[in-house]
Amino acid sequence: MEVYKFGGASVSSAKSIQNMAAIVKNAAKDHLLIVISAMGKMTNKLEELSNSYISNDSPAAHQHLDEVKAYHFGILHELFSNPHHPVFNEVSNAFVEIEWLLEEQASDAPDYIYDQIVSIGEIVSTKIVSAYLKEVECEVTWADARNYIQTDNSYREALVDWDRTSAEIQQHLLPLLKKSIVVTQGFIGGTSENFTTTLGREGSDYSAAIFAACLDAKSLTIWKDVPGVLNADPKWFNETERIPQLSYHDAIELTYYGATVIHPKTIKPLQNRNIPLYVRSFLDALSPGTEITALNSPLPVPSFIFKVNQVLISIFPKDFSFIIEENLSGIFNLFHKHKVKVNTMLNSAISFSVSVDHDEKKIQDLIAELSVHYKVKYNTGLELVTIRYYNQDTIDRVTVDKQILLEVKSRHTCQIVMKDLSTIE
C-alpha cells in the first residue's frame, strides 16, 4: 500500500491535472491512495467567501462564489470536451451546499460555518480529478474522507480521534483499496454527528500521514513544486540545496520552526510507524527528491527558516521584581488564551521577551491584558531567522544589514530576531 498526496499547486490548472494524472498512471500502483487538496489558492478564496457570509455581506459572498465556480468550471471545460459529462453535475451539486447556506443569514457559530464552506474546495477538486483519471483510463474510486478521518468538533482545528479513524480506515477504506486506486480529500474530517470539520490550514499533508499510518503504508509521497526539501525556502533564498536524506527528527525540527514545505503534524504519525516520507517534484517526476526516515545522521548542510512580519514583545514586572515561574505561568496562560504562538523566547532576571507572528487583533488584545500586571514594550516589522546546524559563517551571512534584537542559541539551532536596516530611510 502506498499513499500519494497532491497539494493545491499540483492541481491548479487543467494542464497541472493532466501532469498529475500522468504521474499516477506511470506509477501503475495497484494499492494506491491519492489524497488531494483544493485546487490552487481556492481555500483562500473560500475563506473570503466564508468571512463575507459571516459578516452578512451577501453581495460579496455571492461574488466570491461566482469566482470560485468560474475557476472550477473553466478547468472542467478544458479537461472534458463533452459538456454533458456527469462530473459537471457533481460539481454543481457540491456548490449547491454553499448556495443553500447563502440563502439564509449566518446564525451558526463562525468556525462551524467556515468548515462547511471551505471543505467544498477539497470535495470539488477530488470530484474533478477522479473523473479525469477515469477519463484517461485510470480506474479510481472516489471516497469521502469525512467518513474515515474522525474528529472532535473543534471546528477549524479539529483533533483526530485516532482509534475511530483507524477502525474506519481498516474496515471500510482498505477493502476499497484492494479493488482500485482510491482518490480522497486532504484537510477535511467528520464528527460523530457527521458534521464536516477541517484539520487546520495546510492540513492535507497531515491527512495523508494519518491515512498512511492507519493503513500501515509502505511509504507516503508528497508531490510539491520544489525538487524536495531544500536547505531554505527558494522563495526567500537564491542559493538552495536539495537535502537528499533527512531524519524524522530534523524534519520535525525544521517544520516546527516554520519550514512550510511540510505541515508540522505530518512527520510524527509516520515516525511512529517507521513509514518513509518522500518529498518529490511534480514538475520533475523522475528526480529523486528527499527521503525522510529514521536516519541517524544530522542534516548535511545548515538549513535556514525565514519568517517576516514578526513582533518582539518584551514583558517586565511593574515592580521590578524578578521574572520567576509564577509570572511565567501567568504569562504563558495569556498567550494560550489569545491563541498567540510563541516563535522564540528568552528570559532574563527582570524581563521576558518573545517573538510572535503579527496578527494585529490578537496582539493588541494580548498586550492589553498583559499590561494589567506588566510593563510591556513591543517592536513590529521584524524578521526571524532560524538556522539549524548553524556556525558563525551562516549567522554572518543572514545578518548583513540587520540589527540583531534577540539571539537564542541551543546546541543545533540558532534563532535571531532582527530588523532590516536596508529598508529604513
Closest distance of CB 233 from ligand ADP, Å: 3
Residue 188 binds to ligand ADP (criterion: CB under 6 A):
no
Smallest distance from ligand ADP to CB 209, Å: 13
Among 204, 231, 271, 314, the residue binding ligand PHD under the rule CB under 6 A is 204
Let me know: does 75 contact 13? Beta carbons within 8 Å: yes
Helices (H), 80-140: 86-103, 110-118, 120-135
Number of residues that bind ligand PHD (CB under 6 A): 12
Per-residue interface string for the shown chain with ligand PHD, residues 25-64, x marking contact by CB under 6 A = ------------xx----x---------------------
Q: Is 189 in the site for ligand PHD (CB under 6 A)?
A: no
Distance CA 350, CA 201 (A): 37
- Return the closest-CA partner of residue 305 out of 362, 235, 215, 410: 235
Would you say 131 and 81 are in contact if contact means Cβ atoms under 8 Å apart?
Answer: no
Integer Cα distance of 345 and 9 in angstroms: 34
CB atoms closer than 10 angstroms to residue 135: 15
Residue of 38, 251, 261, 405 interacting with ligand ADP (CB under 6 A): 261
9 near ligand ADP (CB under 6 A): yes
Site membership for ligand ADP, residue 230 (CB under 6 A): yes
Q: Is residue 309 part of the contact set for ligand ADP (CB under 6 A)?
A: no
Q: Is 91 in the site for ligand ADP (CB under 6 A)?
A: no
Residue showing the smallest CB distance to ligand ADP in the complex? 7
Is 334 near ligand PHD (CB under 6 A)?
Answer: no
Q: Which does 187 bind (CB under 5 to 8 A by kind): ligand PHD, ligand ADP, none?
A: ligand PHD
Cell numbers placing 149: 478521518
Task: Establish if 224 lies at the interface with ligand ADP (CB under 6 A).
Answer: yes
Question: With CB under 6 A as the contact rule, which of the stretches 8-16, 117-125, 128-136, 384-392 interacts with ligand ADP?
Answer: 8-16
As to burial, measured by CB atoms within 10 angstroms (0-12 exposed, 13-18 middle, 19+ buried), residue 186 is buried
Task: Please state, in angstroms and rounded to a whole number, the distance separating the CA atoms of residues 404 and 406.
Answer: 6
Contact status: 223 vs ligand PHD (CB under 6 A): no
Residue in 247, 228, 239, 253 with CA at minimum distance from that of residue 415: 253
> Would you count residue 46 as binding ligand ADP (CB under 6 A)?
no
In angstroms, the CA 329 to CA 154 distance is 25
In the complex, least distance from residue 282 CB atom to ligand ADP, rounded to whole angstroms: 8
Please give the grid coordinates belonging to residue 76: 472542467
Q: Which residue of 46, 259, 270, 398 would you call a contact of ligand ADP, by CB under 6 A? A: 259
Instruction: Pick the closer one to ligand ADP by CB: 68 or 305.
Output: 305
Cross-strand pairs, 378 = 313
Among 76, 208, 209, 226, binds ligand ADP (CB under 6 A): 226
183: β partners: 34, 142
**Residue located via cell numbers 524581563:** 351
Which residues, numbered 102-141, are part of the site for ligand PHD (CB under 6 A)? 121
111: cell is 468556525
331 CB burial (10 A radius; 0-12, 13-18, 19+): buried
Pair 6, 34: CB distance under 8 Å: yes
CB of 414 to ligand PHD, least distance (A): 28
Scanning 58-66, 118-126, 139-147, 254-262 for contacts with ligand ADP by CB under 6 A, the matching segment is: 254-262
Task: Give the footprint of ligand PHD on this chain (CB under 6 A).
Answer: 7-8, 37-38, 43, 121, 186-187, 201-204
